Protein backbone atom coordinates (compact mmCIF):
# COMPACT_ATOMS: atom_id res chain seq x y z
CA UNK A 1 0.00 0.00 0.00
CA UNK A 2 2.87 2.32 0.82
CA UNK A 3 4.45 1.60 -2.57
CA UNK A 4 1.19 2.43 -4.33
CA UNK A 5 0.90 5.71 -2.45
CA UNK A 6 4.51 6.61 -3.28
CA UNK A 7 3.90 5.80 -6.96
CA UNK A 8 0.80 7.98 -6.99
CA UNK A 9 2.76 10.79 -5.34
CA UNK A 10 5.58 10.66 -7.90
CA UNK A 11 3.15 10.54 -10.86
CA UNK A 12 1.14 13.45 -9.48
CA UNK A 13 4.28 15.48 -8.83
CA UNK A 14 5.62 14.88 -12.35
CA UNK A 15 2.25 15.68 -13.94
CA UNK A 16 1.96 18.94 -12.01
CA UNK A 17 5.48 19.90 -13.03
CA UNK A 18 4.63 19.35 -16.70
CA UNK A 19 1.28 21.12 -16.37
CA UNK A 20 2.89 24.25 -14.91
CA UNK A 21 6.32 24.15 -16.55
CA UNK A 22 5.15 24.21 -20.17
CA UNK A 23 3.03 27.40 -19.91
CA UNK A 24 5.71 28.96 -17.69
CA UNK A 25 8.36 28.27 -20.32
CA UNK A 26 6.13 29.63 -23.07
CA UNK A 27 5.50 32.77 -21.03
CA UNK A 28 9.06 33.42 -19.82
CA UNK A 29 11.36 31.94 -22.46
CA UNK A 30 9.29 31.93 -25.63
CA UNK A 31 8.11 29.40 -28.19
CA UNK A 32 11.49 27.78 -29.12
CA UNK A 33 12.31 26.90 -25.51
CA UNK A 34 8.73 25.77 -24.95
CA UNK A 35 8.97 23.36 -27.89
CA UNK A 36 12.35 22.11 -26.70
CA UNK A 37 11.03 21.39 -23.20
CA UNK A 38 7.95 19.64 -24.55
CA UNK A 39 10.15 17.54 -26.85
CA UNK A 40 12.32 16.53 -23.88
CA UNK A 41 9.24 15.61 -21.84
CA UNK A 42 7.77 13.55 -24.69
CA UNK A 43 11.09 11.78 -25.33
CA UNK A 44 11.47 10.84 -21.67
CA UNK A 45 7.87 9.62 -21.36
CA UNK A 46 8.15 7.61 -24.58
CA UNK A 47 11.34 5.99 -23.34
CA UNK A 48 9.72 5.19 -20.00
CA UNK A 49 6.63 3.69 -21.65
CA UNK A 50 8.69 1.64 -24.11
CA UNK A 51 10.83 0.19 -21.33
CA UNK A 52 7.66 -1.03 -19.60
CA UNK A 53 6.91 -3.21 -22.63
CA UNK A 54 10.37 -4.81 -22.72
CA UNK A 55 11.98 -7.54 -20.61
CA UNK A 56 13.94 -4.85 -18.75
CA UNK A 57 10.79 -3.22 -17.37
CA UNK A 58 12.49 -3.12 -13.97
CA UNK A 59 14.52 -0.20 -15.35
CA UNK A 60 11.28 1.65 -16.04
CA UNK A 61 10.19 1.14 -12.44
CA UNK A 62 13.55 2.46 -11.25
CA UNK A 63 13.28 5.58 -13.44
CA UNK A 64 9.70 6.18 -12.34
CA UNK A 65 10.88 6.63 -8.76
CA UNK A 66 13.05 9.53 -9.89
CA UNK A 67 10.52 11.02 -12.33
CA UNK A 68 10.05 14.30 -10.39
CA UNK A 69 13.83 14.77 -10.26
CA UNK A 70 14.25 13.94 -13.96
CA UNK A 71 11.41 16.29 -14.91
CA UNK A 72 13.03 19.10 -12.92
CA UNK A 73 16.38 18.36 -14.56
CA UNK A 74 14.81 18.69 -18.02
CA UNK A 75 13.41 22.09 -17.03
CA UNK A 76 16.86 23.21 -15.85
CA UNK A 77 18.41 21.86 -19.05
CA UNK A 78 15.99 23.96 -21.10
CA UNK A 79 16.86 27.00 -19.01
CA UNK A 80 20.57 26.35 -19.59
CA UNK A 81 20.14 26.14 -23.36
CA UNK A 82 18.12 29.35 -23.28
CA UNK A 83 20.91 31.21 -21.48
CA UNK A 84 23.72 29.46 -23.38
CA UNK A 85 22.41 28.49 -26.83
CA UNK A 86 24.69 26.24 -28.90
CA UNK A 87 26.56 27.87 -31.71
CA UNK A 88 25.43 27.35 -35.27
CA UNK A 89 27.91 25.22 -37.25
CA UNK A 90 29.77 27.08 -39.98
CA UNK A 91 29.58 24.14 -42.37
CA UNK A 92 26.48 22.20 -43.31
CA UNK A 93 28.53 19.00 -43.27
CA UNK A 94 29.72 19.41 -39.70
CA UNK A 95 28.05 17.39 -36.96
CA UNK A 96 26.68 19.53 -34.10
CA UNK A 97 24.37 17.43 -31.88
CA UNK A 98 23.46 20.26 -29.55
CA UNK A 99 22.58 22.53 -32.47
CA UNK A 100 20.27 19.87 -33.87
CA UNK A 101 18.71 19.23 -30.46
CA UNK A 102 18.08 22.87 -29.59
CA UNK A 103 17.58 24.60 -32.93
CA UNK A 104 16.36 21.99 -35.42
CA UNK A 105 14.45 19.18 -33.72
CA UNK A 106 11.95 21.48 -31.93
CA UNK A 107 10.91 22.90 -35.32
CA UNK A 108 10.47 19.40 -36.72
CA UNK A 109 8.52 18.49 -33.58
CA UNK A 110 6.23 21.50 -34.08
CA UNK A 111 5.53 20.44 -37.67
CA UNK A 112 4.75 16.89 -36.55
CA UNK A 113 2.32 18.21 -33.93
CA UNK A 114 0.59 20.31 -36.54
CA UNK A 115 0.08 17.33 -38.83
CA UNK A 116 -1.09 15.21 -35.89
CA UNK A 117 -3.74 17.76 -34.87
CA UNK A 118 -6.58 15.94 -36.72
CA UNK A 119 -5.53 12.65 -35.11
CA UNK A 120 -5.69 14.21 -31.64
CA UNK A 121 -9.21 15.43 -32.48
CA UNK A 122 -10.32 11.92 -33.50
CA UNK A 123 -8.79 10.39 -30.37
CA UNK A 124 -10.63 13.01 -28.32
CA UNK A 125 -13.94 11.92 -29.90
CA UNK A 126 -13.42 8.25 -29.10
CA UNK A 127 -12.37 9.06 -25.53
CA UNK A 128 -15.35 11.40 -25.13
CA UNK A 129 -17.71 8.60 -26.20
CA UNK A 130 -16.11 6.28 -23.66
CA UNK A 131 -16.57 8.84 -20.88
CA UNK A 132 -20.16 9.55 -21.96
CA UNK A 133 -21.01 5.84 -21.90
CA UNK A 134 -19.54 5.46 -18.43
CA UNK A 135 -21.47 8.50 -17.19
CA UNK A 136 -24.68 7.14 -18.71
CA UNK A 137 -24.13 3.74 -17.15
CA UNK A 138 -23.34 5.28 -13.76
CA UNK A 139 -26.47 7.44 -13.93
CA UNK A 140 -28.61 4.45 -14.87
CA UNK A 141 -27.20 2.36 -12.03
CA UNK A 142 -27.73 5.18 -9.55
CA UNK A 143 -31.40 5.51 -10.49
CA UNK A 144 -32.02 1.73 -10.41
CA UNK A 145 -30.76 0.86 -6.95
CA UNK A 146 -32.81 -1.46 -4.77
CA UNK A 147 -34.39 1.22 -2.60
CA UNK A 148 -37.67 1.85 -4.43
CA UNK A 149 -38.42 5.23 -2.90
CA UNK A 150 -34.89 6.43 -3.50
CA UNK A 151 -35.01 5.03 -7.03
CA UNK A 152 -38.19 7.00 -7.80
CA UNK A 153 -36.69 10.31 -6.74
CA UNK A 154 -33.42 9.51 -8.38
CA UNK A 155 -35.17 8.74 -11.64
CA UNK A 156 -36.88 12.13 -11.50
CA UNK A 157 -33.55 13.82 -10.83
CA UNK A 158 -32.00 11.89 -13.72
CA UNK A 159 -34.72 13.02 -16.10
CA UNK A 160 -34.36 16.63 -14.91
CA UNK A 161 -30.59 16.44 -15.48
CA UNK A 162 -31.11 15.04 -18.97
CA UNK A 163 -33.63 17.78 -19.78
CA UNK A 164 -31.14 20.38 -18.60
CA UNK A 165 -28.41 18.88 -20.80
CA UNK A 166 -30.77 18.77 -23.80
CA UNK A 167 -31.76 22.38 -23.16
CA UNK A 168 -28.12 23.42 -23.12
CA UNK A 169 -27.57 21.61 -26.42
CA UNK A 170 -30.59 23.26 -28.02
CA UNK A 171 -29.37 26.66 -26.83
CA UNK A 172 -26.04 25.82 -28.42
CA UNK A 173 -27.73 25.01 -31.75
CA UNK A 174 -29.57 28.34 -31.68
CA UNK A 175 -26.29 30.07 -30.84
CA UNK A 176 -24.35 28.23 -33.55
CA UNK A 177 -26.78 28.51 -36.44
CA UNK A 178 -26.47 32.26 -37.16
CA UNK A 179 -22.67 31.98 -37.28
CA UNK A 180 -22.82 29.10 -39.76
CA UNK A 181 -25.73 30.34 -41.86
CA UNK A 182 -23.40 31.81 -44.48
CA UNK A 183 -21.69 28.45 -45.01
CA UNK A 184 -24.17 26.13 -46.71
CA UNK A 185 -21.92 23.09 -46.29
CA UNK A 186 -21.62 23.63 -42.52
CA UNK A 187 -25.40 24.02 -42.25
CA UNK A 188 -25.84 20.75 -44.15
CA UNK A 189 -23.33 18.95 -41.93
CA UNK A 190 -24.96 20.29 -38.77
CA UNK A 191 -28.42 19.19 -39.90
CA UNK A 192 -27.15 15.75 -40.91
CA UNK A 193 -25.36 15.29 -37.58
CA UNK A 194 -28.39 16.30 -35.51
CA UNK A 195 -30.65 14.04 -37.60
CA UNK A 196 -28.27 11.14 -37.06
CA UNK A 197 -28.25 11.78 -33.30
CA UNK A 198 -32.07 11.79 -33.25
CA UNK A 199 -32.49 8.51 -35.15
CA UNK A 200 -29.68 6.75 -33.32
CA UNK A 201 -31.27 7.80 -30.03
CA UNK A 202 -34.63 6.37 -31.12
CA UNK A 203 -32.99 3.11 -32.22
CA UNK A 204 -31.04 2.91 -28.98
CA UNK A 205 -34.19 3.40 -26.91
CA UNK A 206 -36.04 0.76 -28.94
CA UNK A 207 -33.23 -1.78 -28.49
CA UNK A 208 -32.72 -0.83 -24.85
CA UNK A 209 -29.07 -0.09 -25.61
CA UNK A 210 -28.93 3.47 -24.33
CA UNK A 211 -30.58 5.84 -21.87
CA UNK A 212 -31.67 9.44 -21.80
CA UNK A 213 -28.55 10.65 -19.98
CA UNK A 214 -26.24 9.13 -22.56
CA UNK A 215 -28.18 10.45 -25.54
CA UNK A 216 -28.33 13.95 -24.06
CA UNK A 217 -24.56 14.03 -23.59
CA UNK A 218 -24.02 12.72 -27.12
CA UNK A 219 -26.26 15.51 -28.42
CA UNK A 220 -24.32 18.17 -26.50
CA UNK A 221 -20.94 16.84 -27.64
CA UNK A 222 -22.02 16.95 -31.31
CA UNK A 223 -23.20 20.54 -30.84
CA UNK A 224 -19.96 21.41 -29.05
CA UNK A 225 -17.84 19.97 -31.88
CA UNK A 226 -19.90 21.80 -34.52
CA UNK A 227 -19.46 25.06 -32.60
CA UNK A 228 -15.69 24.58 -32.43
CA UNK A 229 -15.62 23.87 -36.15
CA UNK A 230 -17.35 27.17 -36.89
CA UNK A 231 -15.13 29.14 -34.53
CA UNK A 232 -11.89 27.59 -35.78
CA UNK A 233 -12.83 28.03 -39.44
CA UNK A 234 -13.34 31.76 -38.87
CA UNK A 235 -10.19 32.15 -36.75
CA UNK A 236 -7.28 34.07 -38.20
CA UNK A 237 -4.63 31.83 -39.73
CA UNK A 238 -1.21 32.43 -38.19
CA UNK A 239 2.20 30.91 -38.28
CA UNK A 240 2.31 27.87 -36.04
CA UNK A 241 2.70 28.87 -32.40
CA UNK A 242 2.80 32.62 -32.92
CA UNK A 243 0.52 35.47 -32.03
CA UNK A 244 -1.02 34.20 -28.80
CA UNK A 245 0.93 36.04 -26.13
CA UNK A 246 1.30 39.83 -25.90
CA UNK A 247 4.87 40.97 -26.50
CA UNK A 248 4.56 44.74 -26.10
CA UNK A 249 5.05 44.73 -22.34
CA UNK A 250 8.61 44.23 -21.05
CA UNK A 251 8.45 41.95 -17.99
CA UNK A 252 9.72 43.51 -14.77
CA UNK A 253 11.87 40.49 -14.03
CA UNK A 254 14.03 41.03 -17.14
CA UNK A 255 17.11 43.17 -16.53
CA UNK A 256 18.20 45.78 -19.06
CA UNK A 257 21.81 46.50 -19.89
CA UNK A 258 22.48 50.28 -19.76
CA UNK A 259 25.24 49.96 -22.37
CA UNK A 260 23.41 48.05 -25.07
CA UNK A 261 19.78 48.77 -24.15
CA UNK A 262 19.15 45.07 -24.71
CA UNK A 263 17.18 42.78 -22.41
CA UNK A 264 19.29 40.06 -20.84
CA UNK A 265 17.67 37.80 -18.26
CA UNK A 266 20.03 36.54 -15.58
CA UNK A 267 20.04 33.12 -13.96
CA UNK A 268 18.89 34.55 -10.63
CA UNK A 269 16.04 36.56 -12.18
CA UNK A 270 14.80 33.56 -14.18
CA UNK A 271 15.01 31.20 -11.21
CA UNK A 272 13.27 33.70 -8.93
CA UNK A 273 10.52 34.32 -11.45
CA UNK A 274 10.06 30.60 -12.05
CA UNK A 275 9.72 29.84 -8.35
CA UNK A 276 7.34 32.73 -7.65
CA UNK A 277 5.36 32.87 -10.86
CA UNK A 278 4.68 29.35 -12.12
CA UNK A 279 0.95 29.61 -11.44
CA UNK A 280 0.94 33.20 -12.69
CA UNK A 281 2.48 32.13 -16.00
CA UNK A 282 -0.01 29.29 -16.24
CA UNK A 283 -2.98 31.64 -15.95
CA UNK A 284 -1.27 34.24 -18.12
CA UNK A 285 -1.03 31.78 -20.98
CA UNK A 286 -4.57 30.50 -20.52
CA UNK A 287 -6.05 34.00 -20.41
CA UNK A 288 -4.06 34.96 -23.51
CA UNK A 289 -5.61 32.08 -25.45
CA UNK A 290 -9.00 32.59 -27.11
CA UNK A 291 -11.90 31.29 -25.04
CA UNK A 292 -12.68 28.44 -27.42
CA UNK A 293 -9.04 27.35 -27.29
CA UNK A 294 -8.98 27.32 -23.50
CA UNK A 295 -12.25 25.37 -23.37
CA UNK A 296 -11.02 22.88 -25.96
CA UNK A 297 -7.74 22.46 -24.09
CA UNK A 298 -9.43 21.70 -20.78
CA UNK A 299 -11.99 19.36 -22.31
CA UNK A 300 -9.46 17.41 -24.37
CA UNK A 301 -7.05 16.88 -21.49
CA UNK A 302 -9.96 15.91 -19.25
CA UNK A 303 -11.42 13.21 -21.52
CA UNK A 304 -7.98 11.82 -22.39
CA UNK A 305 -7.12 11.55 -18.69
CA UNK A 306 -10.47 9.94 -17.81
CA UNK A 307 -10.22 7.49 -20.72
CA UNK A 308 -6.82 6.43 -19.41
CA UNK A 309 -8.51 5.59 -16.09
CA UNK A 310 -11.51 3.82 -17.66
CA UNK A 311 -9.71 1.56 -20.15
CA UNK A 312 -7.89 -0.55 -17.52
CA UNK A 313 -11.24 -1.27 -15.87
CA UNK A 314 -12.69 -2.45 -19.19
CA UNK A 315 -9.66 -4.62 -19.93
CA UNK A 316 -9.90 -6.28 -16.52
CA UNK A 317 -13.62 -6.97 -16.93
CA UNK A 318 -14.54 -10.65 -16.80
CA UNK A 319 -16.17 -10.48 -20.23
CA UNK A 320 -12.81 -9.58 -21.75
CA UNK A 321 -11.00 -12.36 -19.94
CA UNK A 322 -13.24 -15.20 -21.08
CA UNK A 323 -11.53 -15.45 -24.49
CA UNK A 324 -7.76 -15.38 -24.73
CA UNK A 325 -8.03 -14.62 -28.44
CA UNK A 326 -9.27 -11.14 -27.54
CA UNK A 327 -5.66 -10.23 -26.80
CA UNK A 328 -5.05 -10.37 -30.56
CA UNK A 329 -8.01 -8.17 -31.48
CA UNK A 330 -7.19 -4.76 -33.02
CA UNK A 331 -9.22 -3.00 -30.36
CA UNK A 332 -7.22 -4.65 -27.60
CA UNK A 333 -3.93 -3.79 -29.27
CA UNK A 334 -4.97 -0.15 -29.75
CA UNK A 335 -6.11 0.14 -26.15
CA UNK A 336 -2.82 -1.39 -24.97
CA UNK A 337 -0.82 1.12 -27.02
CA UNK A 338 -2.91 4.03 -25.77
CA UNK A 339 -2.57 2.95 -22.15
CA UNK A 340 1.16 2.41 -22.48
CA UNK A 341 1.81 5.81 -24.06
CA UNK A 342 -1.04 7.81 -22.51
CA UNK A 343 1.28 10.27 -20.75
CA UNK A 344 3.12 10.90 -24.01
CA UNK A 345 -0.20 11.52 -25.75
CA UNK A 346 -1.34 13.86 -22.98
CA UNK A 347 1.86 15.94 -23.13
CA UNK A 348 1.82 16.14 -26.92
CA UNK A 349 -1.88 17.06 -26.96
CA UNK A 350 -1.26 19.70 -24.29
CA UNK A 351 1.54 21.23 -26.35
CA UNK A 352 -0.43 21.09 -29.57
CA UNK A 353 -3.45 22.78 -28.00
CA UNK A 354 -1.33 25.61 -26.62
CA UNK A 355 0.14 26.30 -30.06
CA UNK A 356 -2.72 25.33 -32.36
CA UNK A 357 -3.24 27.54 -35.37
CA UNK A 358 -6.33 27.85 -37.56
CA UNK A 359 -7.25 25.65 -40.50
CA UNK A 360 -8.18 22.43 -38.64
CA UNK A 361 -11.95 22.95 -38.67
CA UNK A 362 -12.55 20.09 -41.10
CA UNK A 363 -11.22 17.60 -38.53
CA UNK A 364 -14.10 18.51 -36.21
CA UNK A 365 -16.63 17.26 -38.75
CA UNK A 366 -14.54 14.13 -39.34
CA UNK A 367 -14.57 13.63 -35.58
CA UNK A 368 -18.37 13.92 -35.48
CA UNK A 369 -18.64 11.28 -38.22
CA UNK A 370 -16.31 8.90 -36.38
CA UNK A 371 -17.99 9.61 -33.03
CA UNK A 372 -21.49 8.80 -34.33
CA UNK A 373 -20.24 5.81 -36.31
CA UNK A 374 -18.66 4.22 -33.24
CA UNK A 375 -21.75 5.00 -31.19
CA UNK A 376 -24.00 3.37 -33.81
CA UNK A 377 -21.82 0.25 -33.76
CA UNK A 378 -22.11 0.14 -29.98
CA UNK A 379 -25.88 0.31 -30.29
CA UNK A 380 -26.38 -2.12 -33.18
CA UNK A 381 -23.73 -4.82 -32.88
CA UNK A 382 -24.63 -5.89 -29.32
CA UNK A 383 -28.37 -5.36 -29.54
CA UNK A 384 -29.04 -9.02 -28.72
CA UNK A 385 -26.67 -9.16 -25.74
CA UNK A 386 -28.87 -9.54 -22.68
CA UNK A 387 -26.49 -11.23 -20.26
CA UNK A 388 -25.42 -8.01 -18.60
CA UNK A 389 -21.73 -8.67 -19.11
CA UNK A 390 -21.05 -5.83 -21.53
CA UNK A 391 -19.73 -2.46 -20.48
CA UNK A 392 -22.95 -0.56 -21.20
CA UNK A 393 -25.48 -3.01 -19.77
CA UNK A 394 -26.05 -3.65 -16.12
Contact 166, 213 (CB under 8 A): no
Q: How many CA atoms lie within 13 A of 319 on its CB side?
A: 12
What confidence score (pLDDT) does residue 272 get? 59
Reported as a pLDDT band with limits 50, 70 and 90, residue 268 is low
> CA-CA distance, 337 to 307, in Å (whole number)?
13
Q: What is the mean pLDDT of the chain?
A: 77
Closest CA to 81 of 109, 110, 102: 102
Reported as a pLDDT band with limits 50, 70 and 90, residue 330 is low
Identify the weakest region by mean pLDDT among 4-13, 56-65, 115-124, 224-233: 4-13
SS3 263: strand
Identify the weakest region by mean pLDDT among 11-20, 161-170, 328-337, 347-356: 328-337
What confidence score (pLDDT) does residue 389 get? 40
> CA-CA distance, 45 to 52, in Å (whole number)?
11
The set of long-range contacts for 182-189, using a CB threshold of 8 Å and a minimum separation of 24, is 183/230, 183/233, 186/226, 186/229, 186/230, 186/233, 189/226, 189/365, 189/368
Angle at 323 between CA 322 and CA 327, to 5 degrees: 120
Identify the weakest region by mean pLDDT among 15-29, 95-109, 178-192: 178-192
Q: How many CA atoms lie within 13 A of 213 on its CB side?
A: 22
> CA-CA distance, 346 to 360, in Å (whole number)?
19
The angle that helices 31-52 and 342-354 make with each other, rounded to 10 degrees, is 170
Q: Does the pLDDT value for residue 326 go beyond 60?
A: no
pLDDT tens, 112-126? 988 888 899 999 999
Q: Does the pLDDT value for residue 331 go beyond 70?
A: no
Q: Does the pLDDT value for residue 236 go beyond 70?
A: no
Q: Which stretch, 98-102, 206-210, 212-216, 380-384, has highest mean pLDDT?
A: 212-216
Domain definitions of the chain by residue range? 117-244+289-394
Identify the weakest region by mean pLDDT among 142-151, 280-289, 293-302, 346-355: 142-151
Q: Taking residues 237-257, what's their average pLDDT?
A: 39
What confidence score (pLDDT) does residue 218 get? 95
Contact 165, 217 (CB under 8 A): yes
Contact 33, 81 (CB under 8 A): yes
Amino acid sequence: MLGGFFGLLTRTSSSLQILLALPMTLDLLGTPSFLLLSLLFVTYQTLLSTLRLTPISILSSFLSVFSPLITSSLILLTLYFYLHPPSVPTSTLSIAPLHWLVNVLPLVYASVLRWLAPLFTLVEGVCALLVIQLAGRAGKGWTEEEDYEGSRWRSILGVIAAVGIYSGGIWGVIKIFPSTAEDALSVFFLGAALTAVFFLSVIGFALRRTNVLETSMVFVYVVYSAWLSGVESSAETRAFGSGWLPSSVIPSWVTTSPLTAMRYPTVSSLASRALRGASGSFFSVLTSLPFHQTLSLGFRLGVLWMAGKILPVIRDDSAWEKDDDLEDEPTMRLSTIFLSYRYTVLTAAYTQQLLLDGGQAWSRWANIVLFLSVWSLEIMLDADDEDGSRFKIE
